[in-house]
Structure formats: C-alpha cells, structure tokens
C-alpha cells in the first residue's frame, strides 16, 4: 500500500481475486429486473418469494419480551433445548417425523444455512449432486461453493413438475452422491404425494444416494397432507429434512430454520455451524418457540388465504388463456408464456409495459424455460389488478408485438428457443 | 358448507363479486349467488356496510358506548326493553352482556349535545332503566377487525428468490 488513501475509483495496487469457486457462479439472473422495476412507481410485484403477512403478533411479542429480559446471549450451538423439543413435537404432529431433540435436530439461521451446512458437510470436491429443477436458486451455487458438481434433473410440465425416476435415469443421477429435492416446490408450486415419492425413494436406496429434502413449504400444501420422503421405508437413515419458520410462520427476516437427520449427520453439520454461526439468532429462537406453541391458528388462517389466492390466480390465468398447471403447494404458480415468447422477454415486456413484476422461469434452472414464476403472496386487491394488467398485455400482444418482444432479447436466454424463431408464425392467443 | 365459505369471504370483504368468489373457491358463479341469496333469506346476512374511519373524514360524528342497568318485572323482560331501545335510529348497536351492567349500547349523533340529549330525554326516562353510564369515543383504533392506523407498509424487495 502507498501512503495515499484509496480514493473511490482511483488506482489501487491490490486486486481482490475471488476464488475460482466464487467466479464460477454467474451473477443473479434477476438483477436486471430490479433496475427496470425501479424506473416505475406503480409496479405490482408478483416476484416476491416471501409472505406478505407480518409474523404473528404473539410471536413478535415473545421476541420483544425476550429482549426486555435481556436474553441476548448465544444459545447452545444446536439451538435452545426447549425450541428443539418444540420442533420435535411439531414435526411428529404435523408430518410423522420422529427426531430426538438432543441429537437429531439443529437450529440454523434460516433453512438456507442448514442446506449450505449439508453441502459443506457431505459434498467432497468432484462429488455429483443431482438437483431436481426448476429449483430454488441457492442450491446450485451452494454445491459449487462446496466444490461439488451440479447435475440438473429437469422436471416437466407434463408431469406437473414432479420428479420421476425416468428423469433421474435420463439425467444420469444413478451415479450421483446426493439428490436435492424441494416439494412443495419453489418456483413451480408442484407437490409430490406419497405414491409419487415411493419410486424416488426406491431409486435413492438402489443407488445409495444421500437425500437432502427441503420441505420449507410443507405447511403450504393445499390439497391433502404433505408427505416427507424421510417417512418412507429405509429413507430416514439417508435423508436430511430441512424446514423453518420463514414461509408458514411469516418470519423470513428473523432468519430461523432447522434440519432433522440422523445423529451422525447432524453432528457433522453442527461441526461447521459451531465454528461459523455459533448459534442461530437468539431473539428469533424465542419468537419461533412461541410460534410453535401458540400460532397454529394464525398459520391455518394464512394457509387458507393463500389457497383462495391460488385458486383465484389459477382461474384468472385460465380465463386469460395462458397454460398453467394446477399448482397445489407453496405460494407460486408457474404459467407458460404464449407461443413465440421466451420467459425472459415476456417478463421484461410485461414489467415495462404494464408494471407487473414476475420472475422468468429460466432463472430456476433447466425445465423452467418459457415459464413464469408468479407469486401470490400478495393481497387479493393487488392480485386482481395485476392479473387484469396481464390480461391486457396478452390481449395486446399480437403477432407484431410478439416478434419485437422476442427479437429484443434473442440470445439472452441460456436455453435456445426451439418453439419458434423470432419472426416465425405465432399464435397470439389461445 | 359452501355457504360458510361464502360467508367467510364476505366477512373479509363484502364487495367481493360473485365472480371473484367463484374464482377463489370450488364454486360456480351461480352457486355463489345462490348461497348469498340463501344467507340473506335466512337472515344470516343482515346487511353490508362500509367500515369507516371517522377521524380520516374529519367529520363531526360523535359516538358513545352506553352502559345500561335495568330492573325487570313480571311483565317486562330484557327482550322487551331491547326491542324498544333498538327502534331509535340513534342506536347503532345493542347487546345484552354479562358483568356489572346489562346492556351495552352504541349511539351515534352529530354532536355531544345531540347524543347527551338523546340519552337524557329518550333513554334514561324508560321506566325499567335504573342507570346509564355514557362513554364518548375519543379515538378509534380498530373497527370490525380492521386496524385504523397507517398500516404496515409492504417494504419487501420487489424480487426475492
């Protein structure tokens, strides 16, 4: 270093040279959309991956109480014992998952931390991690940061975006070490029933796969009950289940999640956790404890409201004439864009023309092309207005407009357009 | 069962159209309409009103909660007294309650003078009424389940994973 202080934009003698693992991860695909959204002040966002509800008041109140009592020190690495016990009781009651609070549960700073711990604990350099896609955008970078190789296992709309053994075989997942699942799914809203999980479990046993099952949206299952793959025969011993308080309990900003798994698996994850995080945020742990003890009714109310919005949004897309499969979980639906459009072009034009923000499906990996993630974690008034704007947009985009839309972003998608070339014949409406 | 669902939605927002309710449920539009008609005919739904924050309107509407104690006799029961009181247009709500007093009555008027006059001239003289305690509403924070504050702004990022 010279004696001169660094000036912004000035010459520096030292360059930060990120590690290869960091450079290998491309910048976020939705960054650009943020900037477009900033240009308008009437944007209705259906691009949000978190609840529009605030954390139930009793849970917030418990957090405030804990602060007033000065409970601001670290907790046990794995989380407060009362909280782990409450989680154990909840997991048993709701999902038939039986885990020992002393050795088989770890509380983390969001389910995201727990997933990352699992990647770092169980992925060696070069290990292949199969990821059912489209999927939450953090899995791929997480595997890369851990030094593993990502294997995309695309799911298809024809299967309602459920994972099939055929898809696993086609992708070559038999040779993988780890399989990552997320059902109910972000971004598609797909769920998997017991009968559909059974062949996947059989595949995992046959090929000796470790299964990482992200069940953060488990409560948000709108028809029937959620089944965890860990409850299927022979699966508990090879599965780590992830859940948390962000979605069902509307606690995203409080950053609290957990992992359930066999004692040796949790011990390996805790080894990393104790040196990096020490313990999950204490205030959030008090909120979570109260949430499990007394907020069941609030959760049910929120789930009921999501369900109504889900049906509303699905009905509207059908009326508009866009293809959409009946998503039964999370708070997303995943319509297909009209012929001639890429997901990215549609999302960009829709945002520019009508001020409605949605996320193009490509962002979530293979299988998401030509789709949009539409979040209904937004009040019904805004949903109604947003869908009216989408209807106007679809009605107005005749063949000429469609061509312009496609041409303006040709080459920007990661997957080539196979449906039609820009300028080819298109069907404006179905 | 469908009526229950429709009722719940109308309690949330009475201006939901039958079309929107049909979109939100498994019901067809005509089934929603039939359910509403049935609820109205059975006297379950008695009306639809706006939830008003009078402070926001800066109107001079005065409201009061009035506690009423009554003395019953062989010929007169609670229902008889209530029926008589409920007829006054100034009375917006009337409930028989448990506790230290018998009736909980809500009254509305254009001024404190008007409301006071109503209570002293029309309510207090009712022979069975032994005592009235009037509480004028100074500020309302929540009405019909709706908080009247500025609300919590949606400060979520417009895109999140």
In A, minimum Cα distance to B28 occurs at A315
Q: Which domain holds residue A392?
A: 27-53+299-397
Do B72 and B117 lie in a common domain? yes
Q: What is the CATH number of the domain that holds A319?
A: 3.90.1150.10
Do B72 and B138 lie in a common domain? yes
Do A33 and A101 lie in a common domain? no
In A, minimum Cα distance to B6 occurs at A308
Interface test with B, best of A52, A140, A308 (most B CBs within 10 A): A308
In a domain, residue B151? The reply is no
Do B92 and B131 lie in a common domain? yes
Mean pLDDT for each 10-residue chunk of chain A (430 residues)? 56 90 88 86 94 96 98 98 98 98 98 98 97 96 97 96 98 98 98 98 98 98 96 98 98 97 98 98 98 96 97 97 96 96 95 96 94 97 97 81 44 37 36
In a domain, residue A173? The reply is yes
How far, in Å, CA of A4 to CA of B24, rounded?
Answer: 65
In a domain, residue B91? The reply is yes
Do B127 and B81 lie in a common domain? yes
- Adjacent-strand bridge partners of A7: none
**Interchain pair A315, B152: CB under 8 A:** no
Is the pLDDT reported for residue B40 higher than 70?
A: yes
Does residue A195 contact residue A162 with C-beta atoms inside 8 Å? no
Do A39 and A184 lie in a common domain? no
Do B76 and B135 lie in a common domain? yes
In a domain, residue A147? The reply is yes
Chain A contacts of B13, Cβ < 8 Å? 380
In a domain, residue B46? The reply is no
CA distances from A239 to A204, A221, A260, A274, A330 (A): 10, 21, 9, 22, 21
A267-272: long-range contacts at Cβ-Cβ below 8 A with a sequence spacing of 24 or more? A267/A103, A268/A121, A268/A122, A269/A106, A269/A114, A269/A117, A269/A118, A269/A121, A269/A240, A270/A77, A270/A78, A270/A106, A271/A121, A272/A117, A272/A120, A272/A121
In a domain, residue A409? The reply is no
Do B65 and B106 lie in a common domain? yes
Do B77 and B19 lie in a common domain? no
A198 backbone dihedrals φ, ψ, rounded to 5°: -55, -50
CA distances from A415 to A226, A368, A383, A410, B71 (A): 33, 10, 30, 11, 82
In B, minimum Cα distance to A377 occurs at B156
Residue B155 binned pLDDT confidence (cut-offs 50, 70, 90): confident
Do B66 and B120 lie in a common domain? yes
Query: Could you count the other beta carbons within 10 Å of the beta carbon of residue B148?
Result: 16
Do A169 and A76 lie in a common domain? yes
According to the model, what pLDDT value does residue A8 have?
66
Element (H, E) at A399: helix A399-408
Tokens of B105: 């009555």
According to the model, what pLDDT value does residue A7 have?
59
In a domain, residue B49? The reply is no
Do A31 and A116 lie in a common domain? no
Do A173 and A265 lie in a common domain? yes
**Cβ-based interface (< 8 Å): residues of A facing B:** 30, 33-34, 37, 43, 45, 47-50, 52, 54, 136-138, 186, 308-309, 311-312, 315-316, 357, 359, 380, 384
Chain B contacts of A316, Cβ < 8 Å? 23
Compute and round to an integer the Cα radius of gyration of chain B: 21
To the nearest 10°, report the CA torsion of B56, B62, B68, B73. Answer: -120
According to the model, what pLDDT value does residue A80 have?
98
CA distance B41 to chain A (A): 26
Closest CA to A188 of A366, A392, A379: A366
Q: Tens of pLDDT along B41-98? A: 999 999 999 999 988 887 779 999 999 999 998 989 999 999 999 999 999 999 999 9
Distance of CA A262 to the CA centre of its chain: 24
Chain A contacts of B20, Cβ < 8 Å? 312, 380, 384
- Give the DSSP per-residue string, B23-48: HHSS--HHHHHHHHHHHHHTTS----
Q: Which domain holds residue B14?
A: 2-41
CA distance B139 to chain A (A): 22
Chain A contacts of B152, Cβ < 8 Å? 54
Q: What angle do CA B6, B9, B15 make, to 5 degrees?
A: 105
Do B66 and B99 lie in a common domain? yes
Closest CA to A307 of A224, A385, A251: A224
In a domain, residue A21? The reply is no
| Of the residues A293, A311, A331, the one at which a domain ends | A293
| Of the residues A254, A277, A293, the one at which a domain ends | A293
Looking at the structure of chain A, the number of domains it has is 2
In a domain, residue A411? The reply is no
Closest CA to A62 of A50, A49, A77, A80: A80
Nearest residue, CB atoms, A47 vs list B9, B152, B158: B158
In a domain, residue A315? The reply is yes
Chain A contacts of B156, Cβ < 8 Å? 45, 48, 50, 52
According to the model, what pLDDT value does residue A2 have?
47
**Interchain pair A37, B159: CB under 8 A:** yes
In a domain, residue B155? The reply is no
Chain B contacts of A253, Cβ < 8 Å? none
Looking at the structure of chain B, the number of domains it has is 2
- Adjacent-strand bridge partners of A356: A44
Do B119 and B76 lie in a common domain? yes
According to the model, what pLDDT value does residue A10 have?
66
Do A285 and A382 lie in a common domain? no
How many Cβ contacts (< 8 angstroms) between chains A and B? 53
Do A322 and A359 lie in a common domain? yes
Nearest residue, CB atoms, B23 vs list A52, A315, A357: A315
pTM exceeds cut of 0.80: yes
At B146 the three-state DSSP class reads strand
Tokens of B145: 């389940």
At B152 the three-state DSSP class reads coil
In a domain, residue A424? The reply is no
Do B33 and B58 lie in a common domain? no
**Interchain pair B159, A380: CB under 8 A:** no
Query: Could you count the other beta carbons within 10 Å of the beta carbon of residue B143?
Result: 12
Element (H, E) at A130: strand A128-133
Q: What is the CATH number of the domain that holds B102?
A: 3.30.70.920
Chain A contacts of B161, Cβ < 8 Å? 30, 49, 136-138, 186
Do A163 and A260 lie in a common domain? yes
Is the pLDDT reported for residue B16 higher than 50?
A: yes
| Of the residues A273, A293, A313, the one at which a domain ends | A293
For tokens 């089934």, what's the residue? B31
How far, in Å, CA of A20 to CA of A238, rounded?
Answer: 31
Do A195 and A343 lie in a common domain? no
According to the model, what pLDDT value does residue A208 have?
98
Compute and round to an integer the Cα radius of gyration of chain A: 22
Q: Tens of pLDDT along B120-143? A: 999 999 999 999 999 999 999 999
A104/B151: higher pLDDT: A104
For tokens 């929120």, what's the residue? A302
How far, in Å, CA of A160 to CA of A39, rounded?
Answer: 35
Identify how many contiguous H helices and E strands chain A contains and give both numbers. Answer: 14, 12
Q: What is the CATH number of the domain that holds A114?
A: 3.40.640.10
In a domain, residue B104? The reply is yes
Do A172 and A260 lie in a common domain? yes
Do A61 and A49 lie in a common domain? no
- Give the DSSP per-residue string, A210-279: EEEEE-TTTT-B-SS----GGGSTTTGGGEEEEEESSTTTT-GGG--EEEE--HHHHHHHHHHHHHHTSS
**Residues in Cβ contact with A182 at an 8 Å cutoff, skipping those fewer than 6 apart:** A132, A135, A136, A139, A213, A214, A215, A216, A217
**Interchain pair A48, B158: CB under 8 A:** yes
Do A96 and A129 lie in a common domain? yes
């Amino acid at each position: 270093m010279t004696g001169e202080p660094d000036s912004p934009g000035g010459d520096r003698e030292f360059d930060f040279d990120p590690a290869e693992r960091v450079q290998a991860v491309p910048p976020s695909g939705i960054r650009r959309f943020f900037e477009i959204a900033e240009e308008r002040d009437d944007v209705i966002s259906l691009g949000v991956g978190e609840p529009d509800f605030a954390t139930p008041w009793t849970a917030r109140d418990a957090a405030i109480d804990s602060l007033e009592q000065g409970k601001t020190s670290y907790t046990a690495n794995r989380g407060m014992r009362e909280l782990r016990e409450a989680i154990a009781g909840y997991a048993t009651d709701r999902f038939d998952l039986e885990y020992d609070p002393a050795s088989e549960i770890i509380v983390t700073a969001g389910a995201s931390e727990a997933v990352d711990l699992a990647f770092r604990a169980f992925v060696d350099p070069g290990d292949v991690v199969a990821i059912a896609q489209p999927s939450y955008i953090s899995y791929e970078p997480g595997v890369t940061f851990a030094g593993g190789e990502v294997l995309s296992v695309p799911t298809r709309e024809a299967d309602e975006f459920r994972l099939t053994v055929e898809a696993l075989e086609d992708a070559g997942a038999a040779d993988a070490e780890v399989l990552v699942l997320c059902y109910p799914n972000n971004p598609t809203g797909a769920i998997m029933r017991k009968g559909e999980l059974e062949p996947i479990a059989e595949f995992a046993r046959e090929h000796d796969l470790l299964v990482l099952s992200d069940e953060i949206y488990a409560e948000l299952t709108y028809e029937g009950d959620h089944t965890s793959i860990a409850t299927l025969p022979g699966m508990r011993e090879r599965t780590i289940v992830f859940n948390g308080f962000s979605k069902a309990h509307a606690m995203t900003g409080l950053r609290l999640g957990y992992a359930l798994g066999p004692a040796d698996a949790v011990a390996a994850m805790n080894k990393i956790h104790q040196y990096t995080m020490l313990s999950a945020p204490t205030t959030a742990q008090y909120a979570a404890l109260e949430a499990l003890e007394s907020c069941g009714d609030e959760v049910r109310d929120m789930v009921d409201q999501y369900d109504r919005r889900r049906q509303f949004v699905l009905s509207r897309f059908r009326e508009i004439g866009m293809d959409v499969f009946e998503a039964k979980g999370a708070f997303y639906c995943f319509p297909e864009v009209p012929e001639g459009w890429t997901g990215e072009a549609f999302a960009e034009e829709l945002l520019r023309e009508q001020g409605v923000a949605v996320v193009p499906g490509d962002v979530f990996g293979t299988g998401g092309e030509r789709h949009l993630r539409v979040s209904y974690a937004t009040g019904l008034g805004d949903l109604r207005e947003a869908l009216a704007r989408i209807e106007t947009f679809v009605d107005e985009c005749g063949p000429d407009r469609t061509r312009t839309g496609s041409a303006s972003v040709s080459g920007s998608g990661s997957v080539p357009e196979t449906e039609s070339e820009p300028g080819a014949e298109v069907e404006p409406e179905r | 069962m469908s009526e229950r669902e429709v009722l719940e939605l109308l309690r949330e927002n009475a201006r939901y159209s039958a079309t929107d309710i049909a979109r939100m449920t498994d019901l067809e539009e005509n089934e929603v309409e039939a359910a509403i008609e049935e609820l109205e005919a059975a006297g379950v739904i008695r009306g639809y009103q706006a939830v008003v924050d009078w402070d926001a309107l800066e109107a001079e509407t005065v409201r009061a909660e009035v506690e009423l104690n009554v003395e019953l006799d062989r010929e007169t029961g609670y229902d008889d007294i209530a029926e008589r009181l409920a007829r006054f247009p100034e009375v917006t709500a009337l409930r028989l309650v448990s506790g230290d007093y018998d009736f909980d009555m809500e009254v509305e008027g254009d001024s404190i003078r008007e409301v006071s006059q109503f209570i002293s001239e029309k309510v207090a003289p009712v022979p069975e009424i032994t005592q009235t305690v009037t509480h004028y509403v100074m500020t309302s924070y929540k009405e019909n389940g709706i908080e009247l504050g500025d609300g919590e702004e949606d400060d979520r990022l417009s895109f999140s994973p």
